[in-house]
């Protein structure tokens, strides 16, 4: 039961809204479900309206999300990526004033491909890069807690630039353990 609850909590909010909307639409269309749910005509209309509203909210939330392709890959595919592959997302519009633009770290994760807790390296990454225009973060595996001994870990970073809401991301799919660097940049 605990595993089921953890999986439900780990599902993105967008999917939960859309799934709830579909369930309410099913109630509206089917009406009686195995004798357990028996809404009247007003209940079916209300269920239909609520279903459409929940699906619309889920769709609007989907378009507001940052699309981090790396985060959506299964761990076994991440481990199969070539060494030192960097995946970065950048918005289509460059900052107008690059002099005052600075990094604000959102998250740093060491070993996400080994099921490590997200954000386990955020504090270290923030200390090194917050407030700078660009940052070459050297990944020192001795300074990081090993979340999964025996597993070849990756390193991912997410940050915002001071002049916008876009979330940037970069990742190293496998670390050599020597002079691995990840570049965070808010200045072109």
Q: How far apart are CA 172 and CA 153, in angstroms?
A: 9
> Can you give the pLDDT at residue 56?
87
**Averaging pLDDT over each range in 1-15, 31-45, 61-75, 106-120, which range is the top one?**
106-120
The pLDDT of residue 52: 92
Q: What is the pLDDT of residues 167-183, one digit of tens each?
A: 888 888 777 667 788 88
Domain ranges within the chain, ordered by starting residue: 2-64, 69-185
| Among 128, 125, 123, 104, residue whose Cα is nearest residue 171 | 125
Q: Where are the alpha helices (H) located in the chain, listed in sequence order?
A: 2-10, 13-30, 41-64, 69-72, 75-80, 122-129
| The residue count for the chain | 188
Q: Return the sign of the alpha-carbon dihedral for residues 48, 50, 53, 55.
A: negative
- The whole-angstrom separation of Cα 172 and Cα 120 is 16
Tell me the pTM: 0.48
Q: What are phi and psi of 185, to 5 degrees?
A: -145, 135
Kindly report, residue by residue over 40-56, the tens digit of the pLDDT. Answer: 888 888 888 998 998 88
- Cβ atoms 168, 160 nearer than 8 A: yes
Backbone torsions φ then ψ of 144, nearest 5 degrees: -100, 145
């Amino acid at each position: 039961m605990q595993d089921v609850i953890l999986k439900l909590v780990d599902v993105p909010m967008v999917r939960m809204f859309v799934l709830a909307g579909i369930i309410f639409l099913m109630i509206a269309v089917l009406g009686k479900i195995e004798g357990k749910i028996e809404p009247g005509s007003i209940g079916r209309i209300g269920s239909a309206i609520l279903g459409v509203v929940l699906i619309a909210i889920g769709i609007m939330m989907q378009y507001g999300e940052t699309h981090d392709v790396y985060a959506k890959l299964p761990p076994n595919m991440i481990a199969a990526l070539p060494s030192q592959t960097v995946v970065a997302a950048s918005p289509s519009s460059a900052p107008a004033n690059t002099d005052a633009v600075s990094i604000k770290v959102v998250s740093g994760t060491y070993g996400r491909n080994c099921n490590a807790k997200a954000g386990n390296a955020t504090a270290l990454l923030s200390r090194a890069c917050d407030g700078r225009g660009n940052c070459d973060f050297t990944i020192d595996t001795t300074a990081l807690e090993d979340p999964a001994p025996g597993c070849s870990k990756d390193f991912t970073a997410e940050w915002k630039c001071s002049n916008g809401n876009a979330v940037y991301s970069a990742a190293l799919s496998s670390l050599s353990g020597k002079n691995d660097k990840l570049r965070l940049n808010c200045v072109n």
